[in-house]
Amino acid sequence: ETVLKQSPDTLSLSPGERATLSCRASESVRSRYLAWYQDKPGQAPRLLIYGASSRATGIPDRFSGGGSETDVTLTISRLEPEDFAVYYCQQYGNSPPTFGGGTRVEIK
Amino acid sequence: EVHLSESGGGFVQPGGSLRLSCAASGFNFNLYGMSWVRQSPGKGPEWVAGIDGGGDNTYYADSVRGRFTISRDNSKNTLFLQMSSLRAEDTAVYYCAKEVEYIGSPLFEYWGQGVLVIVST
């Protein structure tokens, strides 16, 4: 199966700063079918980005994605207080679908 | 508004069985594939099983194949996960998730809040 490695494990930043999260796949993911989710305690995970770079419905434009079939990034241009959470990447181009281990974005 | 609500979780001994349900609303349930995704403490999510919109095709992770069965009742907008021969490593929060297409696209557009399953003596 395709293994996804996220880095860093934790990102300590202040509101207003830029966050850059990385996700590396162990093999090429078909059609760049890579996604990012936001996970907060007590809430359902939320889809942010799909197809490596397309924002899901209702997602603010401070969230952006990019990259290749093996390396993708999630950028949050200016952190808002509600953005401090855990973020997971997922690939859905290869079978079975798999997730990364997550990056925690915490308040510095 | 899409709403997914899981139920049926709880405490079970190793080797036991449990049936999870997921009530869906706010979309045409029979037009979309659905999946179960679980998350153990301190780990990333793990896809468990998926089913197409009509219920004709099912898919499983190797870790649960032969022990878990995914099904759906489109007349009641409900998704199920029958879990048997449960092991300690099945302990997790289980989420139901709506896929973006009828079949073959495990991109999870909406998730429920999750239900906790604990397998222990």
pLDDT tens figures, B67-83: 999 999 999 999 999 99
Q: What is the model's pLDDT at position A89?
A: 98
Average pLDDT over residues B85-91: 98
pLDDT tens figures, A7-22: 999 999 999 999 999 9
Q: What is the model's pLDDT at position B105?
A: 85
Nearest to B94 by CA among B102, B103, B82, B104: B82
| pLDDT at B102 exceeding the cut of 90 | no
Tell me whether residues A47 and B47 touch, CB distance under 8 A: no
End-to-end, the C-alpha distance of chain B in Å comes to 40
Name the band, by pLDDT with cuts 50, 70 and 90, for residue B54: very high
Average pLDDT over residues A34-54: 95
Give the residue carrying structure tokens 């973006």. Answer: B100
DSSP for A45-85, written as a single string:
-EEEEETTTEEPTT--TTEEEEE-SSEEEEEESS--GGG-S
Instruction: Provide the CA A71 distance to its chain's centre, in angstroms.
Output: 11
Closest by Cβ to B61, choosing from A6, A47, A96? A96
Mean pLDDT of chain A: 97
Residue type, B40: S
DSSP state of B55: S
Q: What is the model's pLDDT at position A63?
A: 98
How far, in Å, CA of B88 to CA of B57, rounded?
28
**Which residues does chain B have within 8 Å of residue A46's beta carbon, measured at their own beta carbons?**
111
End-to-end, the C-alpha distance of chain A in Å comes to 36
How far, in Å, CA of A18 to CA of A20, rounded?
7
Give the residue carrying structure tokens 């007590």. Answer: A42
Average pLDDT over residues B26-45: 95
Tell me whether residues A43 and B46 touch, CB distance under 8 A: no
Tell me whether residues A101 and B106 touch, CB distance under 8 A: no
DSSP for A10-43, written as a single string:
EEEE-TTS-EEEEEEESSPPGGG-EEEEEE-TTS
Count of CB contacts below 8 A, A vs B? Answer: 52
Whole-number Cα distances in Å, B65 to A15, A89, B109, B114: 44, 24, 24, 21
Residue type, A61: D
pLDDT tens figures, A55-91: 999 999 999 999 999 999 999 999 999 999 999 999 9
Strand, coil or helix: B88: helix
Chain A contacts to B (CB-CB under 8 A)? 4, 6, 33, 35, 37, 42-47, 50, 56, 88, 90, 92, 95-102
How far, in Å, CA of B6 to CA of B29, rounded?
15
B95 in contact with chain A, both atoms CB, cutoff 8 A: yes
Q: What is the model's pLDDT at position B104?
A: 81
How much of chain B exceeds pLDDT 90, in percent? 94
**Which residues does chain A have within 8 Å of residue B111's beta carbon, measured at their own beta carbons?**
44-46
Task: Provide the β-strand partners of residue B70.
Answer: B81
**Which residues does chain B have within 8 Å of residue A98's beta carbon, measured at their own beta carbons?**
47
Q: What is the model's pLDDT at position B103?
A: 84
Taking a C-beta distance cutoff of 8 angstroms, is the pair B47, B120 a contact?
Answer: no
Average pLDDT over residues B112-117: 96
Q: What is the model's pLDDT at position B31?
A: 96
